[in-house]
Amino acid sequence: MLGNDADFDLYLQNVSKNADPVQTSIDLYHEINKFLQNIGGSQRYGEISYVIIPRNKNPNRSDYIAFVSFERTVVHEEVAKVLKNFHFNNVKIAIRVNDKPTSNAQRRENKIKFKTELDGRSKIKRDSANKRKRVDSPPREVESRPKSSKTVEANEEESCDSFESVVLIKEESSEEAQTSTSEQTMAKLAQAVEDLKQELFETRKRECQLAIQSALKQVKIETLEESRQTLLREREEAAELASKLQALYNKRKTSNEGPQKQ
């Protein structure tokens, strides 16, 4: 039986849908941080470890539930009180400390999953903003040395072709960079999933080994106890037998001596 809140997440209900579960969890993460910052609680409660929103089993539901954990989980009970008037998308959130504990393995899995999604989507958002900024920025004028009229006439068509080529190369390079960034993000996500699988495998392996060792120790203890009880019974039986033999010996000795004739 666990005795403190360190193993219990915060349980949020009535989380309004504004996107898919992953994007909603990221938006909720930012809104909670913003709320705590406004009331001066950021340093007091520390960083949020993860915000996990499971996919709804019932597609007709209009809201989500969420599990939130801070790095310092001992603050959960106080945070639940502080967030009692917290609104998300103009809807008041119902929040409490969850009744069921979260295992350390599940906590690590949630943290890796959320941080991967948070970093990946933040990078995609930055890349998209940078791309729009480049498109919206006016082309830079390049100062050129004065040329003779013959040179300008001879190179007019070539200059236009060169400008178009430069623009096409820039657009192709931008698209290639975006594709490369997406591929790198997917590769990082895939590697994070593989690392997580390996970590879970090792954790379960250690748990099984500990369970086996504990069972063997219990069996050994029970065997030793049975052996001790057996030795005690044998000692009592031996003592009882020795007592009977001594009594029998004394009885025969008395009988053999009998009354002496004079």
Widest Cα–Cα separation across the chain: 171
- pLDDT reported for residue 252: 85
pTM to 2 decimal places = 0.47
**Which candidate, 38, 100, 114, 105, places its Cα nearest to that of 70?**
114
Which residues span the domain enclosing 95? 5-102
- Residues 69/107, Cβ–Cβ less than 8 Å: yes
pLDDT by residue (tens digit) across 86-124?
Answer: 999 999 999 999 999 999 999 999 999 999 999 988 777
Does residue 139 belong to any structural domain of this protein?
no
pLDDT at residue number 260 = 54
**Cα–Cα dist 249/245, whole Å:** 6
Interhelix angle 149-257/104-136, rounded to 10 degrees, is 180
In a domain? residue 81: yes
Tell me: pLDDT of 229 over 50: yes
Residues 6+ apart with CB under 8 A from 95: 10, 11, 12, 13, 80, 83, 84, 86
- The tokens describing 98, both together, are 């969850």
Name the nearest CA neighbour of 189 among 110, 112, 103. 112
Structure tokens belonging to residue 253: 């000795």
Tally of domains in the chain: 1
The answer to whether residue 161 sits within a structural domain is no
Give yes or no for a contact between 9 and 111, defined as CB atoms under 8 angstroms apart: no
pLDDT of residue 16: 87
* Residue 50 domain flag: yes
**Residue indicated by tokens 């009594």:** 247
Tell me the pLDDT tens digit for each residue of 144-172.
555 544 444 444 444 444 444 444 444 55
Instruction: Give DSSP secondary structure letters for 107-157.
Output: HHHHHHHHHHHHHHHHHHHHHHHHHHHHHHSPPPPPP-----HHHHHHHHH
What CATH number is given to the structural domain containing 31?
Answer: 3.30.70.330
Q: What are phi and psi of 67, to 5 degrees?
A: -115, 125
Percent above pLDDT 90 for the chain: 36
Q: Are 78 and 40 in contact (CB under 8 A)?
A: no
Q: For the segment 115-138, what is each residue's pLDDT rounded down to a tens digit?
A: 999 998 877 777 666 676 666 666
Q: Is the pLDDT of residue 48 over 90?
A: yes
Q: Which runs of consecutive H residues, i.e. helices, occur in the chain?
A: 21-38, 42-45, 76-82, 104-136, 149-257
Q: Is residue 249 part of a domain?
A: no
The pLDDT value recorded for residue 135 is 62
Whole-number Å distance between alpha carbons of 145 and 167: 22
Residue percentage of the chain with pLDDT more than 70: 73
How far is the C-alpha of 82 from the C-alpha of 37, rounded, in Å? 12
pLDDT 10s digits, 14-26: 998 878 899 999 9
Q: Is residue 23 part of a domain?
A: yes
